[in-house]
Amino acid sequence: MMELKLGKDEILENYRDELTDAEIYAALARVESNDKLREELLKLSQYEVSHAEFWKFIAKQAGIDVGGIKPSRFSVTFSVLIRRLFGLGFLVKLRESAEVEAIKRYGEMVRRKALGPYTDRLREILLDEVSHEEVFKEEESRFEAFIDNIRDAMYGMSDGLVEVLAAVAAWRPSSPTPPCS
């Protein structure tokens, strides 16, 4: 019996999250018209697929069946919707917080060596997630400059429109209640 300091639910949850991330990036690539961005998204998706495979392997080691596990349709649809309705900037924020979430979770597991002999591979995966977060952080700083320009342009607009734009600009996808739930 392998030494895993991780419950069955946790293993399945990590597997499902990686499957979902893979599907999110694949779905975003399908609707992306910018060639460079599409390529980047496909690359991210492939990384997440390999992470999912790792969790599938861990589950197998622990004698857990992953047959019934599917990616979260809601998260995939939600991400594509955000991209379509609010544009790249908001999607970037949403994905950044998802990657940070994974970094925290995996960091904690690496620290307590929850995966025994497979901790090294988990550390590599953790570094992948850090580089994913970097991708989005870079995009985000570009987006923030864009928002600043909008703020400057807002002087002179009607009060109602300013309020709407300000609310949109201040919204953080990491907050517990996204606007469309």
Contact positions vs Fe ion (CB under 5 A): 18, 48, 51, 99, 129, 132
* Cβ nearer to Fe ion, comparing 13 with 169: 13
Q: Comparing C-alpha atoms, which of 73, 76, 134, 77 is closest to residue 103?
A: 134
Q: How far is the CB of 102 from Fe ion (least distance, A)?
A: 6
Quote the CA–CA distance of 54 and 51 in Å, as a whole number: 5
- Convert 115-132 to b/e letters by CB count within 10 Å (16 or more is b): beebeeebeebbebbeeb
Burial of 146 per CB tally in 10 Å (0-12, 13-18, 19+): middle
Q: How far is the CB of 131 from Fe ion (least distance, A)?
A: 8
Are the C-beta atoms of 82 and 94 separated by less than 8 Å?
yes
Q: Comparing C-alpha atoms, which of 67, 96, 70, 93 is closest to residue 82?
A: 93
Q: How far is the CB of 18 from Fe ion (least distance, A)?
A: 5
* Cβ nearer to Fe ion, comparing 32 with 48: 48
Q: How far is the CB of 37 from Fe ion (least distance, A)?
A: 16
* Cβ nearer to Fe ion, comparing 56 with 169: 56
Helix or strand or coil: residue 90?
helix
Q: How far is the CB of 95 from Fe ion (least distance, A)?
A: 8
* Cβ nearer to Fe ion, comparing 96 with 129: 129
* Cβ nearer to Fe ion, comparing 61 with 97: 97
Quote the CA–CA distance of 115 and 102 in Å, as a whole number: 16
Q: How far is the CB of 108 from Fe ion (least distance, A)?
A: 15
Structure tokens of 5?
């300091």
* Cβ nearer to Fe ion, comparing 4 with 41: 41
